[in-house]
Structures are given as structure tokens and as C-alpha cells.
Amino acid sequence: MNPVRMAMIGGGPGSFMGPVHRRAASLDGLVRLVAGAFSPDEARNRLAAEEAGIPAARSSTDAIALLDREAALPEDERAELVSIVAPNHVHAEVAAAALKRGFALFCEKPLARDIAEAREVVELATSQPGRVAMAYTYQGYPMVHEARALVAAGTIGDLRRVSASYTQGWLAERAEQHGNAQAAWRTDPARSGSSGCFGDIGVHAQTMIEFLSGEPIAEVMADIQVAVPGRRLDDDGGLLLRMTGGARGTLVASQVCAGEQNRFEVTLFGSKGSLRWAQEQPTQIVFTDAAGRATIVSANPAMMIDPAARAALRLPGGHPEGYIEALANLYRAFAWRLRGLGECPLPLPGIDRGLSSLAFIEAVLESSRTRGWVAVKS
């Protein structure tokens, strides 16, 4: 297969997601980085382009200018896919520009800083079905798909309760004041959007709950806070939730729990058993049956029921795959779709997912402000 040509927006020196996306895109040889607006800073952009082997002609400090230039190249040469890994305030504008110019779009979450800002890109995406995917990396883990398949197969019976917890400690102190670029923009409302912690990681928990259960969160009762004085965006919070189907749940997201690395754990409890998945041990899920027997299902085709999850594995059982491989699974699925190899069985998060995260954040903020239950708009 001829690799999909990709332009990257953002991801210059110091970026967390830039190198992850570059590695993930290249892992299977299905996507090739050919252009980039890696940084608005001239020197930093040049450095990134050189490291990536991108000629100056296909690099720019101005994302829109780059898209214009790429669109003007011959069809078999220009970038086909635009991957946005820049800070949040850039997402919506560049996403819309990319779609208008006919590029396929792979956009880091969030889609925009808020729902209003997302309107144009949603309209554009709606008119071009299948051309937009959102980089919810955790949706690329094979065992997440296996878990969803097990739930869908009735393994845990009727869903009764959901517990999701995503705790980090990297903002336990005011890292944004000590030269941490990641912390700086993520705690800045202008660049990050209306929410800090919930916009950054709370939405992963929301997405995982909805993906695994197959049903949306209907309403939330939230209590979010700024735990570290002086910060302007939430860095910690918890909420009660009710699923559309009636199950209840709790969701915690925090970036101020000192010592926590990237502990993202979800459990679904049902009338016949439960399923647990934890991001720090992503190659396994624990299914507990009604008698209490806990079975560890690991990333090995011999134990798995979901064809998509099995197909997403690159290695035999017992050979760990991780975070980069998860994101690479999303790139692979998108590349297959763009090359018309038939829809990849691994479902790819789309524009609706980006939108529902924004609706979730809005409900969380309103609930916390009003100290009451708020329905999540869908």
C-alpha cells in the first residue's frame, strides 16, 4: 500500500504529542509525514522540519499558509491528511481550514475550546462523512475494544454502575510557573479552553465510559475545583453520573494527586459480572463473573472475541504493546479507510465524539457552578 501523505500542524520542539504522533504514524509504514507547520516560531519550526526530513518548501510557521501551499501541489504529491497536534486554541480554525481545502483530518482532542467554536468544523465534517477522525488515543488500545465487545455480548449482564478515575500528579504544584510549556498552555484559558483538567483528561474518562457501555452519559452532578491556588482552570474534580440506560456512576479526574502518573482506570459493574481496564496495564482486562472468579484476559488472539481487537495486535501474547501502538492503531484504521481498503473493523472516533466531549464539559462546568444535576446535551 502506498503510504498516506500527512501534514502535521503543531508538534514542534517541546511538544508531548508531536513525536508520539510522528512515531505512531510511521510505525506500520502506512502514513508518511511530508509537510508540517510545527511551530509559529521560525527557528523551532525549522528544527522540527529538519529532524523530520521535511524540505523547507513544505514547511511553514503559518498553518493556513501551509495548507494553501499543499493544496496547490499536484494531487499525487500533496498531503492527503492533516494531523493537528497543536495546543487547543488552534484546533477549530485549522480543522475548518483543512476540511475546506479537501484534506482529511485527524485532530487531537478537543475539537475546539467550546461548542460555539466547533460549529463550523462540525458542519464541514458532516458534509464529508468519514473524512474526520479524533485522536482519542485510548480508543486505539485493542483491549478496550475487546472489553466493549464483551459488554456488548452480554458478559456482564445489565449495566448497573460505572466507576472511572483518571488521576495524574504533574500539576500537583504550579509547574506552569517553572518553565513547563505543557503546563503553561494547559492551564491558560485562552489556549486551553473553558476547562483544564476535565477538558484534558476528564473527557477521556467520559469517552471510555460511553464507548465501553455503548450508551451516552445522560446527566451529571459535578464538583470541580482549582486545588492549587492561583490557577485559573479546574485541576481536579469528581462527578456523579447517570447513563441513558439508567446505570449510575462516578467519574474522577485530577492532575494534582501527587505521585500519580497516568492512572486511568474504568470499571463497569453489571448484573452478571464486571469488567476493569487500567491504562497503565493496557494489555489486559479483568472480567469477574457472578461467582467472583476474576479472569485476566490479555492481548492474545487465543483469548479474545473481538475480531477488530485481535487484528489490532502486532505481536503474539506476552509481548507488550503500549501507548504509541494504540495511537498507531488509529492511524492505521484511518489509512485503510482513506485507501479504500474497506472500513477497518476498529471503530475510529469521529467528529461526533469531539462534539460530545464539548457537551460533556459544558454540563460539568454548569453543574459544578449551580451545584445541581445537569443534562448532557447530545
Q: Which of residues 25-54 bind a second copy (CB under 8 A)?
A: 26-29, 51-53
Nearer to a second copy, 71 or 227 (CB): 227
**Does position 250 bind a second copy by CB under 8 A?**
yes
Shortest distance in whole angstroms from residue 23 CB to a second copy: 5
Point out which residues pair with 126 in neighbouring strands: none
Select the span of 196-204, 206-214, 283-291, 355-363 touching a second copy (CB under 8 A).
283-291
Nearer to a second copy, 37 or 285 (CB): 285
For residue 51, how many C-alpha atoms fall within 13 Å in the half-sphere facing its CB?
14
Cα(206)–Cα(378) distance, integer angstroms: 13
- Cell 462527578 belongs to which residue? 239
| 190 contacts 114 by C-beta, under 8 angstroms | no
**Does position 230 bind a second copy by CB under 8 A?**
no
Point out which residues pair with 164 in neighbouring strands: 251, 266
**Does position 229 bind a second copy by CB under 8 A?**
no
**Does position 223 bind a second copy by CB under 8 A?**
yes
Cα(25)–Cα(317) distance, integer angstroms: 23
Shortest distance in whole angstroms from residue 194 CB to a second copy: 20
Shortest distance in whole angstroms from residue 152 CB to a second copy: 17
Residues that contact a second copy, how many (by CB under 8 A):
88
Q: Angle at the Cα of 374 (from 139 to 158), degrees rounded to 5?
A: 55
- Cell 466493549 belongs to which residue? 148
Cα(66)–Cα(72) distance, integer angstroms: 10
**Does position 208 bind a second copy by CB under 8 A?**
no
Shortest distance in whole angstroms from residue 65 CB to a second copy: 25
- Tell which residue, 361, 369, 348, has the closest CA to residue 116: 361
**Does position 146 bind a second copy by CB under 8 A?**
no
How many residues are there in the chain? 378
**Does position 195 bind a second copy by CB under 8 A?**
no
**Does position 149 bind a second copy by CB under 8 A?**
no
**Does position 188 bind a second copy by CB under 8 A?**
no
Q: Which amino acid is at 312?
A: A
H-only helix segments in the chain: 17-27, 42-52, 63-71, 88-100, 115-126, 142-152, 181-186, 189-192, 197, 203-213, 307-311, 323-338, 351-370
**Does position 373 bind a second copy by CB under 8 A?**
yes
Nearer to a second copy, 157 or 347 (CB): 157
Binding-site member from 271, 341, 343, 378 for a second copy (CB under 8 A): 271
**Does position 70 bind a second copy by CB under 8 A?**
no
Q: Which of residues 294-333 bind a second copy (CB under 8 A)?
A: 294-298, 300, 302-303, 314-325
Shortest distance in whole angstroms from residue 286 CB to a second copy: 9
